Amino acid sequence: MQQFLNTALTGLTLGMVYAAFALALVLIWRSTRIVNFAQAPMAMVTTFVALVVIDAGHSYWLGFVAALLSGLVLGAFLERVVIRPVEGKAEINAVILTLGLFIVLHALAAVVFGNRYRSFPAPFGLEGITVGGTTIALNGFGIFTIVSVLVVMGLLVALFRFTDVGLRMRASAFNQEVARLLGVKVGAMLTLGWALASLVGSLAGLLIAGGGLVHPSYMDSVVVFGFVAAVLGGLDSPLGAVVGGLILGVSLSFVSGYVGSQLVALAALVILMLVLTLKPGGLFAQAAERRV
Amino acid sequence: MRARISSLRDHVLARHLAAALLGLVVVVMVLESVSDYRNTQLASMAYLGIAAGGLTVLTGLNGQLSLGHGALMAIGAYTSALLLPDNESSLPLSVVVLVAVVVTLAVGAAVGLAAARLHGPYLAGATLALAVAVPGIALYFKETLGGEQGLRVVMPDIPVWVLDAVFFVTGQDLTRSRFTAYVAWLTLIVVFVLLANLGAGRTGRRWRAVRDDEVAAELAGIDLGRARVSAFMVSAAAAGAAGAILAFTVKLAAPSAFTLTLSLTLLAAIVLGGLGSLAGALIGAALLTFLPSVVTDIGTDAGLSDIQAAELAPLVYGLVMVAVILLAPAGIVGSLRGALLRARARRRTPASAEPPATGTTSGTGTTTDPHADTTETAGTTPATTSKGTAS
C-alpha cells in the first residue's frame, strides 16, 4: 500500500513536469501547426545556461531566472530566424527543420558544455517528507515542482483569458487571415507564442534536472512523453495537455515501479498507439473528426 | 538501335535492371580494388544507404516522416543476431535477411497502423517514441538480448561455391570483410530495384497523390490510410534489411548503436541528397560514412578535444539539414535535376518557338521548378490543408 501511494505521488510530480512540457508543445502546435521536436534540446540548452550561472558561484534562483529568460529569447529567436521562412509552406519542411535544430542544439551543447553527465543542484531538500511516522515520496523539491507548474499554468490562463495580448494571440492562432485583417500583428504574436512555449519548456527542463544529472540528451525521452501527453489531451487543448501529462506521469511511474524503468519509454509508445487507435482525437474529443 | 534505346527508356523495369547491372559491375570493380578497411566502410555505407533509401521513399514519395528508422534497424539487427549465435548455425545469409525484414515489417505494421492512418505529425511522434523505447527493450530482456553489451553476431563461413565463383571472376581470394561488403551491396541493389519499381508504378503514384493533395487523392478513389500505412511498411522493411546488414558488418547488435541520433542523421542524409531520390539517399549515406572522420580531423586540428571533435559531424549534419530546407529544399539531386531541366528548357525555347508557358519558368527560376517530381516535398506545395481549419 505504501509503495502504491509513493509510486502514485512520484507519478503525480513527474506528471506535472510532463504536463508543462506537453503544454509547451500544444502552445506551438496551436499557433503554427508545428510539433516542435526541438523543444527538448532547447530546454536542455537553457538548463545548461542555469548550470553555468550556478557553477559560477551565483545562487540557484539567479540560474533559474537566467534559464527561463534565455528560454524566452531562444524561442523568439528560433521562430523569427529559422522557422518563419517555412511557416505556411509544406508542413513536413517545418518538422524537418525542427529536427535539424534538434541535432544542431544537441551537438552545440556537447561541444560547448561537454558531452558528460553533470549534477544539477536542487533548491529544496530531496528528503521525503514524514507524515505520521512513515516517509512519503514527496519532497520539498517535488512540492516546488507542482507549485511552480501550477503557477505558470495560472499565469498562462490569465494571459490568454484576461489580457489584450492573450486575445490577439488566440485570434492569430484561430485564423491568421482574419486576425491580420483586424489589425493584429500576427507575426509578432507567433514569435511571442514560441517564446512563451520555450519558457514553459525551460521550466520543465529545470524541474527534471533538479537534484539529478544533466547531459546533452537528458531531455530526449521527455519530448516523447510530452508528445504522448499532448496527444492524450488532443494536441489542441492546453487543459487536455495538463490532464494528459498527469495521466501519463502516473502510468509511467507505475510501469517504472512495478515492471522496470527500462520499459518506461515502451509503455509510453504503447499508450500512444492505444490512443491513436482508439481515440485519435485525444481523450476529450467530442466533435467529429476532420475528414482527411 | 535508337529505337531500342528509347524503348529501354520507356520500359521502367528494364531500365532499373540495366541500372542495377551497371551498379553491380561498378560495385565489383570498387570492392575488388580497395583494402579490407575500406570494404568494411563501404559495407557501412551500404546499410546506411538501404535504410536511407527506405526512408526517402516514405518521406519523399508519401510526405511522411519517420524518426524511428534507427530503431527499426535495431529490430532487424537483433533478429539477425539471434539467428546467427554461433558458427553452427546453418542458415544462409539471405534467409537471415529475409527473416529480419519480416520481423521488422511486423513491428512497422503495428506502429504504422496506429499512427500512419492519421493526418499530421502523429507518425513522426510515434516513431520518435519507438526510437527512444527500443534500446530499453534490449536492456530489460538482458538474458536473451544481452543488455548493454549486446549480442555478438557470428558470420557463417563463406560458402565454397561463392569462393570459387569469385576466384573465377576476379582471380583474387575472397576475404571475409570483402564478402560482407558484397553481401551488403547486393542487398542494396536488390532493395533499390524493388523500391524504384514500386515508386514508379501504381503504388508509387498513389503515394505521391496522397502526399500532394489528400482531398483530390480521396476523390480519385485512393484509400488514404492504406496508402500511408503501405508506404510506412515498405520503408520499415528496408530498414529491417539495413539492420541485418549492419549486424553482418559490425558483428554486434548493441543498444548504443541505435540511438535517436542514428535515426535523425538518416533523415539528414535524405534531406541533403534530395527527398524521394534513391540516388540522393546513396549520396547521403556516403556523406554519413565518410564525412565524420574528415570533420573530426579538422576539429582536432583546430584544438578541440577528441570528444568535442566527435560532436562536430552531427553539428554539420544538423546545420546542413537546416540550410538545405531553407535554401534548396530539393536537395542535391533535386537541385541538379532542376538546373538541368531549366537549362534544357532555355535551350529549346528559342529554337522551336514553343508557347511561352514552358519557357517562362526558367527566367524566374527559383520559385516554380519545372520538374514537379523532385520538388514535391519541398517548399513548393502550398499548405492549404493544415492552416486554420481545425477548431
| Domain-wise residue ranges, chain A | 2-120+137-218
* Chain A residues touching B113 at Cβ < 8 A: 277
The rounded percent of chain A whose pLDDT value lies above 90 is 35
Taking a C-beta distance cutoff of 8 angstroms, is the pair B65, B286 a contact? no
Tell which A residues from 16 to 35 touch B, by Cβ distance under 8 Å.
33, 35
What span, in angstroms and rounded, lies between the C-alpha atoms of A43 and A20? 12
Nearest-CA distance from B175 to chain A in Å?
Answer: 37
Give the start-to-end residue ranges of the domains of chain B.
8-258
Look at residue B299 in the predicted model and tell me its pLDDT: 83
HEC assignment per residue over A131-196: ECCEEEEEEHHHHHHHHHHHHHHHHHHHHHHHCHHHHHHHHHHHCHHHHHHCCCCHHHHHHHHHHH
Look at residue B312 in the predicted model and tell me its pLDDT: 86
> Is B118 close to A95, i.e. CB distance below 8 A?
no
Residue B146 is which amino acid? G
Out of A30-39, A140-149, B209-218, B328-337, pick the least confident: B328-337
What span, in angstroms and rounded, lies between the C-alpha atoms of B91 and B77? 15
Nearest-CA distance from B309 to chain A in Å?
Answer: 7
For the entire predicted model, the pTM comes to 0.84
Look at residue B353 in the predicted model and tell me its pLDDT: 47
Tell which B residues from 5 to 64 touch A, by Cβ distance under 8 Å.
59, 63-64
* Chain A residues touching B130 at Cβ < 8 A: 269
* DSSP label at residue A119: E
Q: For residue B265, what are the contacts with CB-CB under 8 A and spacing of at least 6? A: A103, B288, B314, B317
> Is A262 close to B140, i.e. CB distance below 8 A?
yes
Q: Which of A99, A223, A280 has the CB atom closest to B118's CB atom?
A: A280
Taking a C-beta distance cutoff of 8 angstroms, is the pair B376, B208 a contact? yes
Question: Where is B276: in which H helix or E strand?
Answer: none
* Banded pLDDT at A206 (limits 50, 70, 90): very high
* Banded pLDDT at A104 (limits 50, 70, 90): very high
Q: For residue B111, what are the contacts with CB-CB under 8 A and spacing of at least 6? A: A269, A273, B68, B126, B127, B130, B232, B236
The bridge status of strand A134-139 relative to strand B252-253 is: unpaired
Look at residue B149 in the predicted model and tell me its pLDDT: 85
Angle separating helix axes B260-273 and B69-83, nearest 10 degrees:
120
* Chain B residues touching A290 at Cβ < 8 A: 119, 389-390
Mutation choice for A interface testing from B122, B300, B367 by most A CBs within 10 A: B122
Look at residue A65 in the predicted model and tell me its pLDDT: 93
> By the CB < 8 Å criterion, does A276 face chain B?
yes
Look at residue A183 in the predicted model and tell me its pLDDT: 87
Q: Which of A101, A231, A260 has the CB atom closest to B322's CB atom?
A: A101
Q: First CA to last CA across chain A, in angstroms?
A: 47
Q: Residue B381, Cα to own-chain centre: how many angstroms?
A: 23
* Chain A residues touching B391 at Cβ < 8 A: 174, 287
Look at residue A115 in the predicted model and tell me its pLDDT: 82
What span, in angstroms and rounded, lies between the C-alpha atoms of A90 and A101? 18
Under-50 pLDDT residues of chain B: 353-391
What span, in angstroms and rounded, lies between the C-alpha atoms of B21 and A113? 50
H-state helical runs in chain A:
2-32, 39-55, 60-78, 91-113, 140-162, 164-174, 176-181, 186-209, 220-232, 238-258, 264-278
In CATH terms, B8-258 corresponds, of 1.20.1250, 3.30.465, 1.20.1070, 1.10.3470, to 1.10.3470
- In Å, what is the CA distance from B144 to each residue of B74, B79, B339? 15, 11, 53
